[in-house]
Amino acid sequence: MPNTAQTHVVIACGGTGGHFFPGVAVARELIQADVRTTLLISAKEVDRQAVAAIPEIPHLEIPAVALNMKRPLRFLLGFRSATLRVRDYFANDKPDAVLAMGGFTAAAPIRVGRQIEVPTFLHESNAVPGRANRLLSRWVNETFIGFEGTRERFGPKNITESGTPVRSEFRNQNRRDCCSQMGFDVTKPLILVTGGSQGARGVNQMVTGALPRLVERLPDVQWLHLCGPHDLVAVKGAYGKTSFRAVVHDYIHDMPLALGAADLVISRSGASSLAEFAASKVPAILVPLPTAADNHQRANAREAVKCGGAIMLEEAKTSSDTFAAHVVGLISDRGMLMKMANAMKSLDRPDAATLIASRIFGACEKGAIDN
């Protein structure tokens, strides 16, 4: 049975790894302060895989559905079902505060949290907030943002620039140890390719299409390619036609270890991924998702490019030759890689989770809200 005398904070962080792992970082800070924490996740397989790696933090699945204007009834029914599930849970184990990390699992917990009059909080990690988060920000006591430039997009609300929380494991990794644990040669460059928790077909095709050119010019490079479940066979086949030392997985739980071993990462530009690259001090080639809402991934990538930690390539405009030339140019210039790594590190906010947790804990101690 839960200790109902202990302060209880619910964190809605389901839908993608980009919402889940920052939520876990905050949860761990709260737990260190003796705050009981429960995660609300979706029923998606990616959430179930992620939460299985942290059995020490209780969680609850809610039947949320992403907003799709072509299927509004499905969304409304899902929202109603999620609201009923959350309301029932809160009635039996009332939280002292609710934090939503964005995404489609955020709406119902924020709504019910307001109804039972507990402090509610929202985190927006992207440079351009989604429509749902812009709406939810009107209903919460405080909104945390990952980039300072996001503030103006929310209007005159209680906004705090916190950065995006990252698990402490990403910081201060030893490359030699990481390479050894993963079976890579520490004396040779390692490129990490990742499309996020579900893979990215465009990134997979960009990389595999350039492999014949890259193997001619960078034969000693090692690859760790996280391709998602749908492209696993095709990506493995592409590396199998080369002489590269390559390890291909659909997904791995230990991203801190992977980034700790990497000299360069090729990735989409989700905000939480960028925060992990910054914490790990790894330079990047960023390929924004072309269909991302409001082009938020492009805006995220610009932040990393502006500081000098990354270069950005457009998926539809980048040929295999151009992509290969960028990879060769970076891997062949250790000085440039180090310069970019230090620049990427400048985006890191090691205090993000602590700041958010302290604001939530402070609101719980006050025991009052101003909705």
268 within 8 A of 121, measured Cβ to Cβ: no
**Cα separation, 131 vs 128, whole angstroms:** 9
| DSSP state letter for 249 | E
Residue type, 49: Q
Report d(CA 214, CA 330) in Å as an integer: 12
**What are the structural domain ranges in the chain?**
8-166+350-366, 169-345
* pLDDT of 136 over the 80 cut: yes
pLDDT higher than 80, residue 222: yes
pLDDT digits (tens, 9 = 90+) for 141-192: 999 999 998 998 887 679 999 999 999 999 999 999 999 999 999 999 999 9
Q: Do domains 8-166+350-366 and 169-345 have the same CATH topology?
A: yes
Question: What CATH homologous superfamily does 169-345 map to?
Answer: Glycogen Phosphorylase B; (3.40.50.2000)
Pairing mode of beta strands 36-41, 59-61 = parallel
Angle between helices 17-32 and 271-280 (to 10 degrees): 60
- Whether the pLDDT of residue 221 is over 90: the answer is yes
Where is 310: in which H helix or E strand? strand 310-312
Q: What is the pLDDT of residue 116?
A: 96
**304-344 per-position pLDDT tens digit:** 999 999 999 999 999 999 999 999 999 999 999 999 999 99
CATH annotation of 8-166+350-366 = 3.40.50.2000
What would the mean pLDDT of 221-246 be, rounded to a whole number? 96
Three-state SS at 192? strand
Distance of alpha carbon 304 from alpha carbon 295, whole angstroms: 15
Tell if the pTM clears 0.85, that is, is over it: yes
Instruction: List the one residue out of 338, 357, 193 whose CA is nearest residue 273.
Output: 193
Contact 132/106 with Cβ under 8 angstroms? yes
